[in-house]
Amino acid sequence: MTEQVDVEAKTSDGEGGGLRLRLARVFTELLAPSVVGVVCPVAVGALSDSNAWRGAVLGLLGAVFAIGLPYAYIAYLIRTGGATDRHVSRREDRPKVLIAVLLCLAVGISVLVFLGAPPLLVWLLVGEVLLVLACLVISKFWKISMHSAVAAGTVAALVVVLGPWALLAGLAVVLVSWGRIVLRDHTPAQVTVGAGLGAAVLSLLGFVS
């Protein structure tokens, strides 16, 4: 499917189209949930714990449950034909992946509470549960952009711990959303709703910080 999109775009747009596709792929990979989703808990953990190093390690542990284990499951699905790619491009493949993410997050939250992780880090994972639940429901009938949702949610969480200056990271949301549209994996509406949902859900951290 991706190869077909590439051919169509290059044919219609020439060299400029090829450059747009390359940039879109770069933004899609660099700002994928598997990357952004690791940065967020580590940053929140480090900035919300009296011992920054301890908080960062606990945040990294949270990322293992939120990102690492789910992506290991996605890799398994790809090998067994249950998914086409690590971005889970087919909407019908998403429910089983999102359910696995929910299970991993539930275990991760329990482990972090047991280890005495900073409350804001625990609430971050709770917020991710709410975001995944919303995406699970929406994905049953519409292909909402997880890339945009996670990127915007990360920016919202960073604003809570860093202040308004973190809004500058909103450029990442724009870039990854643009990339998903250029690659024709999502429509403008799907990336807009994804970004709005992610920002709205994780902005709730401001009420528990």
Distance (Å, whole) CA 176 – CA 150:
10
Nearest to 148 by CA among 111, 118, 185, 108: 185
Other beta carbons within 10 Å of 108: 25
What average pLDDT does range 175-187 have in this prediction?
95
What average pLDDT does range 129-154 have in this prediction?
94
Distance (Å, whole) CA 102 – CA 30:
24
Q: Could you read off the pLDDT of 41-65 as tens digits, one per residue?
A: 999 999 999 999 999 999 999 999 9
In percent, how much of the chain has pLDDT > 90? 78
Q: Is the separation of the CB atoms in 190 and 141 below 8 Å?
A: no
pTM of the model: 0.86
Other beta carbons within 10 Å of 19: 12
Give me the pLDDT at residue 3, please. Answer: 37
Q: Could you read off the pLDDT of 22-31 as tens digits, one per residue?
A: 999 999 999 9
Nearest to 107 by CA among 72, 71, 75, 62: 62
What average pLDDT does range 94-107 have in this prediction?
94
Rg (CA), the chain: 17
Residue 9 in this model has a pLDDT that exceeds 80: no
Q: Could you read off the pLDDT of 111-124 as tens digits, one per residue?
A: 999 999 999 999 99
Question: In a 3-state reduction of DSSP, which class is residue 52?
Answer: helix
Other beta carbons within 10 Å of 34: 17
Indicate the residue type of 17: G
What average pLDDT does range 172-200 have in this prediction?
96
